[in-house]
Each structure stands twice: as structure tokens, then as C-alpha cells.
Structure 1
């Protein structure tokens, strides 16, 4: 499903579970040596996805260890993002000649835990989501906003090396059409100075979203000619 949200220059791979055997590099094994079994399996499967995407880009497998904020450290010349949640693991990668940064996120298509919604939304976002919920009440708009902000952070951090608080990006969603209200686009306006890419400051990111098969998926692909 993630392939539906990104342009053709982005290679993607996904799995619904952790049943496929995965051989980790020693450096990767060391990262999760003390983790619980569930964490080790998710870690391995999402790296399997990433290596499949690397292969599709014509690149060899390589250790993918996390950086200071848990972000994957990609080979030189590659931009990418990984995500995992219950029932889904995915990776999306592209060459940096085409893409500056990528952020993807998957979440279960259900309401956020109690108390989380107020902590991740701004007043104007809550009003916006209330309007959307009146029109399409079956969609988990709070979870969709949370996922989109995760994708914003994953796009932002490799370009800045700095954190981004939930209140520093304001989200607005659009549905593709009345006949398919489960897909659409979103815009994330930044209230802090955005990254400078090829001499141009980016003050917002745009992305796509999809709700299918019990999952919420969001993706941002920041290209050199502007956000997509």
C-alpha cells in the first residue's frame, strides 16, 4: 500500500508480519541484543524491507543501524524512511539525486489512546478535524493527524538534526474525492524556520494519506523541485 503514496522514483517494500527469516548484520544484531522478542522481530523485518528497496535501486545490502533519535542511517546517496506497527512494516528509499528526504508512517486505524489527542493537536487542527469527522465519521482523524506528524518529523530530522515539536507543524487534510474518502493529501505548515534545500527554505511539507485494511498510512517525499 505504501507504494500508492510515493512517486515512481521511490522504491518501496512491505510485509504484514515477521514470519520471513531475516539475516541481520552483526552491527544490527548488537542494537537489539537485549530487546524483547517482538522488538527484535520488527527490527529485523523492517530492515528486510529496506534491503529489498535498496536492491530495487540497484544497491547492495548494508547494515542499517539507528542514529541518535532512532533514525536509520542510510548509505551515502540514499534518502529513506522506515515504519512498523501491528500488522505492517515498510520502507521507502530513493537516490538523493532525485529526493531530498522521505518520511513514512503506519498506524492502526483506531482512535488515539485517551489523553494523547489533546497533546498532539493545536486548537485550529481540532476544529479542522471536527469538520472532517462530521463528513467522514468512520475515519480515525486523530490517528491520521498523529501519523502525518510522525512523517513530518521523519522528513525534517535528517535535514536539520533538530527535534520538532508537535505544535510546530500545523496540519490540514484534503480528501481526493467524495467517491473515495479514504485517500487524500495533507499540508504541514511549519511555524519554525524550515530546512534550506538547494538554496530555498522550505516552509511547509506536503504528503499523501491512505486508510485501508485497518491501517493508516502517511508519506512525504521532499523532492529537489519542491514538496510532493
Structure 2
């Protein structure tokens, strides 16, 4: 099986008019951050992190039985988003336990990814029989990354290049890179089993197309040095959203 990573959807382009590439964007409750970033066959569910935690299945509830209330809310709404997405694909009421590596254990016929940050949660799920092999999504606040994290996430050349391309401050550029590398890591981990450092990916961005490439700087199981994972990103309504998909279909 040949694996391919390429931006979705292949039939549409989302250029600069869809990207608000500036710091200090104003918060609004957007309906969906990931719909324009993913193939329409991928089921997406999103929700604000507010209210009472939705019910969890028994195995899921044990994971956060001793967690603080905020963590229980994030976990429960993230799992609820995943369950809604799975239901849309015909997998109603499927449990989503946590594995020994703390990652969600998806039903064998599905691949997916969950993200939550600040006031929002989202999940994206797809069927393996439609050629989807792995998905990684990440959502981050569109603000400056804490200064003490900059050098662990990216080097100065990456920050300065992205800041110039996207018209943002170096701190926001660092947060963009963080989000892109997180999505790439979450996509590749089920395939490689490799716990990567931020320095193990180099990121190149096409701001006009809203795409990025995360290039491996070392070989891991299933991937060679210089292999690339291609993703999409957008900045809007106070958040950075990034998504990476690997399929078994030929890249277009």
C-alpha cells in the first residue's frame, strides 16, 4: 500500500481571502473550524467547551475519574464530538477508550483525531475503506506562543520566514508552527509509533494556498528522512486550525 499525504479537498482552493493572517483577531463562535480544511467524506463535529460535561461510557469515564473539573469537561466534550462524528459514519454509540500511550483507541474500521483548546473542541473521523489511513487535527489560540517555548518548537529562521510570509509577529508564527507540527505528529503517530520532538519536523508554508508541508528530519518506522506530510491551515475567529491527512490513494 502506498501512503500519500496531500491537502484536502483536492477539488477546491482556499486562498488568502479565507485566511485572517494577523494577530489580535476577535473571538467569535464559529460553527466549524475544520470543514474547509478536510475532505468532505471526513465526518467533523465541533463544540464549545461550556456547560456540563456530557455523559461518558464506562471505560471512558474511568480515564478522568480523578481529574479536575476543567479536564473532565475537555475530555467529555472531545469524546462527545468524536462520538457524533462516528455516528455520522454509521458507528453510533461506539466507545472510545484511551490506550496505554494515552491516545484514543478508534474502532478498527475508523481513523480519527480529537483536539481541544481554550474554549473549543473538535473531532474528525474517517472510514478506512474509503482510503483514509490517518488524520491529525490541532486547534490553538491565535496568539503569541509563550516565549520560553519558541526555541523548542522551531528555530529562528522558521519563525522569521513564517512571520514574513503570513504577516504575523514572531510569537504568533511560533504558535502557527506549533499547531502545524502537532497536527503532523498526531497524524503520523498511529503509523510510526514514534514520539517525535518538535525539532524532528521542518515546516514550509504556502500562505496563499493555506497549505503547509511538515518534513521529517530523521527516519522513523514507515517514513524516511525528508518524507513530507502535507496539511492545510487557517487562522480565523481567534484560533489557528491545522489538519493533516494520510491516504492510500494516489496523490493528485
User: What TM-score do you get using the length of structure 1 for normalisation?
Assistant: 0.88
Contact 2:179–2:240 under 8 Å retained in 1: yes
Q: How many residues align?
A: 219
Partner in structure 2 of residue 209 of structure 1: 233
Could you tell me which runs of 5 or more consecutive residues in structure 1 were left unpaired when the two chains were aligned: 178-183
| Structure holding more strand per residue | 1
Q: CA RMSD in A?
A: 2.3
1:218 aligns with 2:251: no
Matched position secondary structure for 2:147: coil
Could you tell me which runs of 5 or more consecutive residues in structure 2 were left unpaired when the two chains were aligned: 1-32
Contact 2:134–2:246 under 8 Å retained in 1: yes
Partner in structure 2 of residue 99 of structure 1: 132
Matched position secondary structure for 2:208: strand
Change (3 A) 1:201 1:58: farther
Query: Which protein has greater RCO, CA pairs closer than 8 Å, 6+ apart?
Result: 2
C-alpha distance in structure 2 between counterparts of 1:161 and 1:139, whole Å: 30
Partner in structure 2 of residue 126 of structure 1: 159
Partner in structure 2 of residue 33 of structure 1: 65
Partner in structure 2 of residue 152 of structure 1: 184
Match for 2:44 among 12, 15, 27? 12
Give, in angstroms, the shift of residue 16 of structure 1.
1.6
Change (3 A) 1:136 1:114: closer
Q: Which moved more, 1:212-221 or 1:65-74?
A: 65-74
C-alpha distance in structure 1 between counterparts of 2:237 and 2:46, whole Å: 14
Q: Give the alignment of 1:148-227 within 5 angstroms.
A: 148-176=180-208, 184-193=210-219, 196=222, 203-225=227-249
User: What TM-score do you get using the length of structure 2 for normalisation?
Assistant: 0.80
Partner in structure 1 of residue 148 of structure 2: 115
1:63 aligns with 2:89: no
Change (3 A) 1:20 1:36: closer
Change (3 A) 1:73 1:186: same
Change (3 A) 1:61 1:222: same
C-alpha distance in structure 2 between counterparts of 1:157 and 1:220, whole Å: 12
Matched position secondary structure for 1:209: strand
Give, in angstroms, the shift of residue 137 of structure 1.
4.8
Deviations 1:172-216 (A, max 9, x none): 111126xxxxxx11001112225539xx99911000001111111
1:23 aligns with 2:55: yes
Give, in angstroms, the shift of residue 13 of structure 1.
0.3
